Chain A
Amino acid sequence: MVANLWPFRAIILQSLLLTVVIAIESRVLYQRLKLPNQQPLTPKQAVQYAASMNLLATVLGWLTVFALFELENLLSPAWTQAAQTAVLNVILFSQISDESLSALLILALITFFVSFAIKQAALSGLNWLLRAEIPVAAPDQTADLERKKLAASGLRYLRKNPRNNRAMNVGAVLAANAWSSAAVLAILLILLILPLQFRP
Chain B
Amino acid sequence: MNRLTQFLLNFVLLKRVGQILRDWVQQVQTRLTNIKPFSWEAMLMLSLFSWFVYLLLRGFYAKKFVSVFAWVFLIIGSDWGLMKQQVKTWLIGFPFQYGPWITAAIASVALLSNDFIVTSWQGALISWPILAAIFAAYPRFIQPGFKFGLPGAEGRQDIVLLFLISGLFSSWFQFHFLIQDLLGTYPSLLNDSFERSIFVTRFNAPPSDPAVPPDSPKARELLIATEANIRQNLTGKDWIATQQWLSRIKTLDPDLGSQVMASVYGDRLSREQRLWQISADVGMNAANNANLDLILTVRWLGASSRPGGYQLRQTCLVSQVTDQPPPQTFEQMQRQTGFLLTCQNPVAE
Q: Which of A24-32, A81-89, A163-171 lies on the face that meets chain B?
A: A81-89
Q: Which of A62, A81, A95 contacts B175 (CB 8 A)?
A: A62
Within 8 A of B (CB), among A141-200: 142, 191-192, 195, 200
- 7 A-B pairs with least C-beta separation: A137-B149, A88-B303, A55-B164, A62-B171, A140-B152, A10-B199, A59-B167
Knowing A89-B303, A93-B305, the reply to whether A5 touches B200 (Cβ < 8 A) is yes
Query: In the bound complex, do residue A135 and residue B199 qualify as a contact, i.e. CB atoms below 8 Å apart?
Result: no
Interface residues of B (CB under 8 A from A): 140, 143, 147-157, 160-161, 164-165, 167-168, 171-172, 174-176, 178-180, 182-183, 186, 189-190, 192, 194, 196-203, 211, 270-271, 274-275, 301-307
Complex: A88 Cα to B272 Cα, angstroms: 13
List residues of chain B with CB within 8 A of the CB of A52.
157, 160-161, 164
Are B149 and A9 touching (Cβ within 8 A)? Answer: no
| A93 and B154 within 8 A (CB) | no
Beyond A62-B171, A85-B275, A93-B305, whether A192 also contacts B198 by CB under 8 A is yes
Tell me, yes or no, whether A13 is within 8 Å of chain B by CB: yes
* Chain A 33-65 residues near chain B, CB threshold 8 A: 45, 48, 51-52, 55-56, 58-59, 62-63, 65
Cβ of B274: which chain A residues have Cβ within 8 Å of it?
77, 81
For residue A65, which residues in chain B have a CB less than 8 angstroms away from its CB?
Answer: 175
A95 touches B305 (CB 8 A): yes
Cβ-defined contact, B161 with A138, below 8 A:
no
Query: Could you list some 17 contacts between A and B, CB below 8 A?
Result: A4-B183, A6-B202, A6-B203, A7-B176, A13-B198, A55-B167, A58-B168, A59-B167, A59-B171, A62-B168, A69-B178, A89-B303, A136-B149, A136-B153, A137-B147, A138-B140, A192-B198
Contacts of B147 in A (CB 8 A): 137
CB distance B302 to A88 under 8 Å? Answer: yes
Q: Does A191 contact B200, Cβ atoms closer than 8 Å? A: no
For the complex formed, measure the closest distance between the CB of B72 and the CB atoms of chain A, giving whole angstroms. Answer: 26
User: Which of B178, B190, B192 has the most CB atoms of chain A within a 10 A radius of its CB?
Assistant: B178
